[in-house]
Amino acid sequence: MPSIVTTEDTLRAEELAGGQDGILRRSSVGEYHFEFGGYLPDVVLAYETWGKLAADGSNAVLVMHALTGDAHVAQGDSHSAGWWEGFVGPGATVDTNEYFVVSINMVGGCNGSTGPSSLDEQDLPYGSRFPFVTIKDSVRLEARLAKQLGIESWHAVIGGSMGGARALEYAVEFPEQVKNLVVMASSAQATAEQIAFAQVQTQSIRLDPHFCNGDYYGNDARPDAGLGLARRLAHITYRSEAELETRFSRNPQDGEKPTGQLDGPRGRYQVESYLDHQASKLVNRFDANSYLVLTEALMSHDVARGHESLEAALARLEKVNVVVAAVTTDRLYFPEQSVKLASSLAKPKPVHYIDSPIGHDGFLTDATQLDGVLRTLVFGD
Ligand SMILES: CC(=O)SCCNC(=O)CCNC(=O)[C@H](O)C(C)(C)COP(=O)(O)OP(=O)(O)OC[C@H]1O[C@@H](n2cnc3c(N)ncnc32)[C@H](O)[C@@H]1OP(=O)(O)O
Ligand SMILES: N[C@@H](CCO)C(=O)O
């Protein structure tokens, strides 16, 4: 069975840590009717904060996580490192000594917010009954939490990949609440190829015999194989061809013989072993239904939906300072998609680049390359 960390476990661990920064909290934001018709009587959002909100409320920054991320952006007073350590923290690009940083686990996720593994009013997991979620749903709910936290407007909303889609959608939906917007390694609309890669992943999960139409909670087995396959494919799209070649080449995994042997199963190349490891890491920290919900939310990403055109949607950002960044070697969110976004703005902008050999994941591993740009354009140094 995968050892998904529950909110309760996290809270217990954090009680011991003391302090407030990077500590998971949860708040009900009430009932919600989803964009495409589903309904939940009570949505809880998990969130973490760093730093202090200024008396005039002017220093709030919202950091949006990507597909399998969570609200734990930076360590703060907790015991564990965050996923954007070095980019967010005391003295970092997003300086928590100066800014009040908030990050929220997206609805549908499995890291504290209401998701398919949450219990309904009859104490049964939602499973297959969980509504279809969109990026618009995500930001509408997040805006409710902002209100509860006393935040009327954000100095900046920042995100990469799905976090970039969420950040962009937030600003288009609530332009009067966003002063600066930073969209990294993302796009205005999911493309056919992104939908295609995602469909192979969702099918891998759905075709797993242990998926049971999403109602596998309480069963002896979960759709781990399907989730693992989904992660293997996704991870290849997160890395560049050159990175895989440089790192692994055609090397066999230590002690294994990839060309087969008479007395046992075929061994693996290093890159196969690496993908197996990436799959197993995700299976141990993520719920397959949440992976489906969030992946399908990203497939539906289209900031133009509900507006006359993409340009009309982006025209709502007239008063928002928009910064668009791409990873040079990204083969999932090609830099051209960032160029399209930046050039479709009412006042077109240049794209800033993270020059990383890694590929899409460069927005996580090399975000600090944007330090100078963001200090100049967003954080006012
Ligand atoms: C830091 C966190 O909190 S991660 C949990 C939350 N996740 C998120 O928020 C999502 C965003 N983060 C991520 O996707 C990732 O953490 C990234 C992209 C930032 C970094 O990915 P990583 O998997 O750490 O990077 P990398 O490609 O270098 O892989 C290293 C791992 O592959 C393993 N590995 C390398 N070569 C091989 C091989 N031949 N066979 C098997 N395993 C291998 C390493 O031992 C290492 O394992 P470990 O992570 O268990 O220590
Ligand atoms: N590695 C990231 C990439 C998604 O953009 C994640 O797992 O969320």
The mean per-residue pLDDT over the stretch 141-155 comes to: 96
Is 331 labelled a binding residue? no
Q: Give the position, in ligand 2's atom list, of the atom nearest the Cα of 185.
A: 5
Alpha helices in the chain (DSSP H): 7-17, 135-148, 162-173, 192-206, 224-238, 241-248, 270-283, 288-299, 310-315, 335-343, 362-365, 371-377
Identify the nearest ligand to the CA of 364 by its number: 1
Q: Is residue 26 part of a domain?
A: yes
C-beta 361 within 6 A of ligand 2: yes
3-class secondary-structure state, position 128: helix
The pair phi, psi for residue 258, each rounded to 5°, is: -65, -20
The active-site residue out of 103, 138, 161, 187 is: 161
Q: Is residue 7 part of a domain?
A: no
- CA 326 to each of CA 166, 300, 374: distance values in angstroms, whole numbers, following the listed order: 16, 21, 14
Burial of 34 (0-12, 13-18, 19+ CB in 10 A): buried
**Which carries the bigger pLDDT value, residue 380 or residue 312?**
312
The model carries a pTM of 0.94
Nearest CA to ligand 1 atom 23: 278
- For the stretch 63-121, pLDDT in tens is 999 999 999 999 999 999 999 999 999 999 999 999 999 999 999 999 999 999 999 99
CATH number at residue 250: 1.10.1740.110
* Residue 220 sits in the same domain as residue 326: no
Domain count, the chain: 2
Residue at token pair 């002896």: 220
Other CB atoms within 10 A of residue 221 CB:
13
Alpha helices in 216-366 (DSSP H): 224-238, 241-248, 270-283, 288-299, 310-315, 335-343, 362-365
pLDDT for 264:
79
pLDDT band for position 157 (cuts 50, 70, 90) = very high
The active-site residue out of 208, 224, 302, 330 is: 330
Strands 25-28 and 44-50: antiparallel
To test ligand 2's pocket by mutation, which of 64, 65, 68 has the most ligand atoms within 8 angstroms of CB?
A: 68
Q: Give the position, in ligand 2's atom list, of the atom nearest the Cα of 332.
A: 5
Q: Give the position, in ligand 2's atom list, of the atom nearest the Cα of 161.
A: 5
DSSP letter at 327 equals E
Instruction: Kindly state the tokens that stand for 22.
Output: 């990077």
Q: In this predicted complex, what is the ipTM?
A: 0.93
* Residue 114 sits in the same domain as residue 263: no
161 is catalytic: yes
- For the stretch 14-42, pLDDT in tens is 444 456 999 999 999 999 999 999 999 99
> 257-284 b/e with 16+ CB inside 10 Å = b?
ebeeeeeeeebbbbbbbbbeebbeebbe
Nearest CA to ligand 2 atom 1: 361
* 114 contacts: CB under 8 Å, gap ≥ 6: 40, 42, 43, 44, 45, 107, 108
Instruction: Kindly state the tokens that stand for 95.
Output: 């300086």
The active-site residue out of 72, 235, 352, 360 is: 360
pLDDT greater than 60 at residue 267: yes
Instruction: Kindly state the tokens that stand for 215.
Output: 């109602």
* Residue 276 sits in the same domain as residue 365: no
Q: How far is the CA of 233 from the centre of ligand 1 (A)?
A: 15
* Residue 168 sits in the same domain as residue 313: yes
The mean per-residue pLDDT over the stretch 221-235 comes to: 98
* 358 contacts: CB under 8 Å, gap ≥ 6: 239, 240, 243, 327, 329, 365, 366
Task: Report the candidate in 152, 59, 61, 139 with the shortest Cα–Cα distance to residue 303.
Answer: 139
Identify the nearest ligand to the CA of 252 by its number: 1
* Residue 87 sits in the same domain as residue 158: yes
Burial of 189 (0-12, 13-18, 19+ CB in 10 A): middle
pLDDT for 275:
98
Q: How far is the CA of 180 from the centre of ligand 2 (A)?
A: 23
Task: Give the residue from 244, 279, 297 where a domain finishes.
Answer: 297
Task: Give the residue from 242, 271, 297 where a domain finishes.
Answer: 297
pLDDT for 2:
34
Task: Report the candidate in 351, 44, 324, 21 with the shortest Cα–Cα distance to residue 182.
Answer: 324
Cβ pair 137, 21 in contact under 8 A: no
Q: Is residue 2 part of a domain?
A: no
Strands 32-33 and 39-40: antiparallel
Cα separation, 321 vs 155, whole angstroms? 10
Cα separation, 142 vs 111, whole angstroms? 15
Q: Give the position, in ligand 1's atom list, of the atom nearest the Cα of 270.
A: 39
Q: Give the position, in ligand 2's atom list, of the atom nearest the Cα of 65.
A: 8
Nearest CA to ligand 1 atom 35: 274
C-beta 293 within 6 A of ligand 2: no
pLDDT greater than 60 at residue 10: no
Instruction: Kindly state the tokens that stand for 4.
Output: 């998904």
C-beta 280 within 6 A of ligand 1: no
> 320-343 b/e with 16+ CB inside 10 Å = b?
bebbbbbbebbbbbbbebbbbbbe
Task: Give the residue from 297, 332, 354 where a domain finishes.
Answer: 297
Fill in the amino acid letter for 122: Q
CA atoms within 13 A on the CB side of 145: 27
pLDDT for 74:
98
C-beta 253 within 6 A of ligand 1: yes
pLDDT greater than 90 at residue 235: yes
Nearest CA to ligand 2 atom 5: 161
Identify the nearest ligand to the CA of 360 by its number: 2
Q: How far is the CA of 37 from the centre of ligand 2 (A)?
A: 28
Instruction: Kindly state the tokens that stand for 15.
Output: 């009680």
* Residue 33 sits in the same domain as residue 158: yes
Percentage of the chain beyond pLDDT 90 is: 93
* Residue 56 sits in the same domain as residue 179: yes
Is 361 labelled a binding residue? yes
The domain in which residue 33 lies consists of 13-190+302-377
pLDDT for 199:
98
Q: How far is the CA of 68 from the centre of ligand 2 (A)?
A: 6
pLDDT greater than 70 at residue 216: yes
* Residue 206 sits in the same domain as residue 285: yes
Task: Report the candidate in 316, 321, 319 with the shortest Cα–Cα distance to residue 349.
Answer: 321
